Amino acid sequence: MLHEYEIGKLEAKGELRNFCPVCKGRLSECRPAVCPFVKKLSMWIPMERFQDRIVFGASPPTVFVGEWGYPRVNVGPAVSAMEKDFAGLLDLHEKWLGFSIDELLLMRLSLLHGKKRVGVTVARMPSRFIESFQELAMSSTPVDTEMELESRPALKPLFYVRESPIGPSAPLLKIRLAENPSVPRIVEKAVSDADLRAENAILTMYRSGIRQEHITRLLSIGLLGSKNERKMVPTEWSITAVDGIIGKALRKEVIKYSLINCYEVYGFEALHNRVCILLLPLRWMFEVLEYWHSMPSKFPYSDHEITGFPERYPENIGGAYHAVRLPVLEHLSVRRRQAAALVFIEVFPGWLPLGVWRLREISRKALSMQPTKANSLDEALSLLSTKLKLPIEKWVRASWLLDFLKNQTRLE
């Protein structure tokens, strides 16, 4: 399994697209005959629904923008082989923690992705073909969609680091929306405002209750920002961008509030991922520590931030950093309180690439529960030692924030 740190190095070299995110093997050697995982996928995916080149089904709605070959990328919608009443669930991340990994894979791999290769700036003056993608992306409910494909869809392991998996794909010749998309008024307003910056549009929609996946879809398909600057953004980049933009805005609010009055420990586990969160009665600092039991290392990976210092990209944790920071800031914003936060992530064997949504939703679930409280840092770490599989000593040794607090105490 490739860790995000290794993924970052491969991305920098332009080699990431050559590797399977499930087994680290080369995709050029991947076929059902040699890959038992792909053979298992072929049993899950209802390929009999995708035998014809003309496919009709409900899109959740899902529109995917790839990153390979940027600034020319594959873009297109996905339609489901499942009933329309169920299709909307395929994009509702907040509902997914109640499903098993096999159930989630069955759901997501039922999506057939039609793709068209275009330049990202086509979003500024789209053809009618691209406009159909954009209309679909604006919808808040499933849309019956007909696609004519260039060939029968091919089954490939379409797994991504940040985005949820998608099933078979094929080049797209034509698309027809069989009904009018249901577009919220606030979305229509944000898209039609040719002078509204993308960041402001994202925050306006978020504060108006538009779902995060919907906002990400709009940014990705090139519908947000000043008209002459709009462009398509690969879906994986859009996910982290939206998490980051909303997180920064909430952080500006949170650092103005008074501190919590004790140490608070939260935790939840789902889909072979465990998240524990420690809130400390201190000014805003934030650190994420991540340990993969499926590929043991000496210490957890980590990234951190501190108020007043320049922001930097979390090279070790990657998009998961912003995905867990957002729920922490949401939680503090609702409480109108400030705290430092330390997030512990454990990934256990059996995990598959389902996207960073899982960490965002697990963190939200954890923070929705009553915390275990402690009066000192030592007491809080003792509580955490009972919740984490990796010995607490290794977390402490890897933590920048805990080392900072220890040295600060010595100075005082």
Q: Where in the chain is the domain with CATH 3.30.230?
A: 257-411
Q: Which tokens sit at 17? A: 């697209």
Res 309: pLDDT: 81
Res 31: pLDDT: 53
- 255-307 pLDDT per residue, tens: 999 999 999 999 999 999 999 999 999 999 999 999 999 777 889 999 999 98
Q: Is the pTM of this model over 0.95?
A: no
335 pLDDT higher than 70: yes
352 pLDDT higher than 80: no
409 pLDDT higher than 60: no
254 pLDDT higher than 90: yes
Burial readout 125-154 (b: 16 or more C-beta within 10 A, e: otherwise) = ebeeebebbbbbbbbeebbebebebeeebe
Res 105: pLDDT: 81
Res 17: pLDDT: 46
Q: Which of 14-18, 98-102, 140-144, 201-205 has the lowest mean pLDDT?
A: 14-18
Res 354: pLDDT: 83
Output the DSSP codes for 378-400. Answer: HHHHHHHHTT-SS-HHHHHHH-H
37 band by pLDDT with thresholds 50, 70 and 90: low
Res 81: pLDDT: 77
Which of 107, 162, 169 lies closest to 324, judged by CA? 162
Place of tokens 């669930």: 89
22 pLDDT higher than 60: no
d(CA 204, CA 404): 36
Cβ pair 312, 318 in contact under 8 A? no
d(CA 89, CA 87): 5
- Percent of the chain scoring above 90 in pLDDT: 68
In this structure, what is the dihedral angle of CA atoms 213, 218, 220, 221, given to the nearest 10 degrees? Answer: 140
d(CA 139, CA 214): 8
Cβ pair 307, 284 in contact under 8 A? yes
Cβ pair 50, 87 in contact under 8 A? no
7 band by pLDDT with thresholds 50, 70 and 90: very low
Q: Mean pLDDT in the chain?
A: 87
- 198-246 pLDDT per residue, tens: 999 999 999 999 999 999 999 999 999 999 999 999 999 999 999 999 9
Say whether domain 257-411 belongs to CATH 3.30.230: yes
Q: Which tokens sit at 327? A: 């729920």
Cβ pair 377, 280 in contact under 8 A? yes
Res 5: pLDDT: 41
More confident residue, 410 or 163: 163
39 pLDDT higher than 70: no
- 156-186 pLDDT per residue, tens: 655 666 678 777 889 999 999 999 999 999 9
Res 34: pLDDT: 54
